[in-house]
Amino acid sequence: MEYLLHILVIAGIYIILTLSLNLILGYTGLPALGHAAFSCVGAYVSALLALNYGISPWIGLLIGAIAASLMGGVIAFPSLRLKGDYLALATFGFAVIVYSIAKNWVAVTRGPLGLPGIPTFSIGGFQLSSIWSYLILVALLVALTAFLLNRVANSPFGRILKGIREDEIATESLGKNVNRHKVLVFMIGAFFAGIAGSLYAHYITFIDPSSFTIMESITILLMVVFGGMGSIKGSFVGAAILVILPEMLRFLGMPSSIAAPMRQMIYGLLLLLLMLKRPQGILGRYRFR
């Protein structure tokens, strides 16, 4: 039972990450390949505030998300000049740099040793350490994220984002500031990714750079593409399936030296088949052009 609830918590965190990347990738059509960098910033900022200054995880969550959002603003800059593959590569580069800062800035992040003993969330002296209470917290935040991002996507602001995706020049000719919207969408997406990172840090109570590798960014990308670009429901489906499916392999009773590469091979194959047969994802409406 514990294990099942744990999987649900992890799935919830991934749903927040997938939703936030979907806003950038699916709604605005900007191929950002370094989403784990944002959750890395959120996790480390919030964990370090709690460990070094004793700041409540709730405030840490907010400050972490804001820090991730500022980082998103910085990463948005290449998107003003680059498109397609080149933008994907540049955001990828930023993610590698953020990862190696987490790994090499030992004085602050303790490098590969990681940060143990991160405090959990608490409400009025009651520690949210039981997995049930944590699941409720994550579920609430998932609902909030889905609600807010749905509102963003269906607002006039969201229509401009879709306009940028469909035809940037036409959007600009209608007097919309494309550059400003690109920076904003990165900041919003990064904000929610920061929340997810902080949730993860205070749940596991230990973080190290290996949780925020490039592979992690690719997994989130896969969840968005698999579920469907530009679809809120799709993000739920994509994240849930790709968290739960590999766990099922655990029950086939293979030794981990076989199970680990098998799981990755299934990821690779899924990605491949998806691109060949249904590039817009299960519930998606938008295709790359």
Binding site for another protein (CB under 8 A): 31, 77-78, 81-86, 88-90, 92-94, 96-97, 100-101, 103-104, 214, 218, 221, 225, 257-258, 260-262, 264-265, 267-272, 274-276, 279, 287-289
Burial (CB < 10 A; 0-12, 13-18, 19+), residue 62, is middle
Q: What's the closest the beta carbon of residue 162 comes to another protein, in angstroms?
A: 17
Q: Which lies closer to another protein via its Cβ, residue 245 or residue 260?
A: 260
In the complex, what is the shortest distance from the CB of residue 271 to another protein, in angstroms, rounded to a whole number? 3
Nearer to another protein, 28 or 145 (CB): 28
Name the minimum Å distance from CB 55 to another protein.
Answer: 29
CB of 97 to another protein, least distance (A): 5
Least Cα distance to 74 among 215, 182, 199, 211 occurs for 182
Which residue in 169, 200, 187 sits closest to 23, CA to CA?
187
Beta strands in 113-165 (DSSP E): 115-116, 122-123, 126-127
Round the CA-based radius of gyration of the chain to a whole number and report it.
19
Which residue, 148 or 274, has its beta carbon nearer to another protein? 274
CB of 252 to another protein, least distance (A): 15
- Measured from the CB of residue 130, what is the shortest distance to another protein in angstroms? 36
Give rounded-to-5 percent helix, strand, coil for the chain. 80, 5, 20
- Smallest distance, another protein to C-beta of residue 281, A: 11
The 3-class SS string of 209-260 reads HHHHCHHHHHHHHHHHHHHCCCCHHHHHHHHHHHHHHHHHHHHHCCCHHHHH
**Long-range contacts formed by 99-103: CB under 8 A, 24+ apart:** 99/36, 99/37, 99/40, 99/209, 99/212, 99/213, 99/214, 102/40, 102/44, 102/209, 102/212, 103/209
- Return the ∠ at Cα 46 (arms to 41 and 52), rounded to 5°: 120
Indicate the residue among 4 and 169 with the shorter CB distance to another protein.
Answer: 169
Comparison of 6 and 110: residue with beta carbon closer to another protein? 110
Strand partners, 260: none
143 vs 268 by CB, closer to another protein? 268
Question: 29 or 119: whose CB is closer to another protein?
Answer: 29
| Distance of alpha carbon 202 from alpha carbon 216, whole angstroms | 18
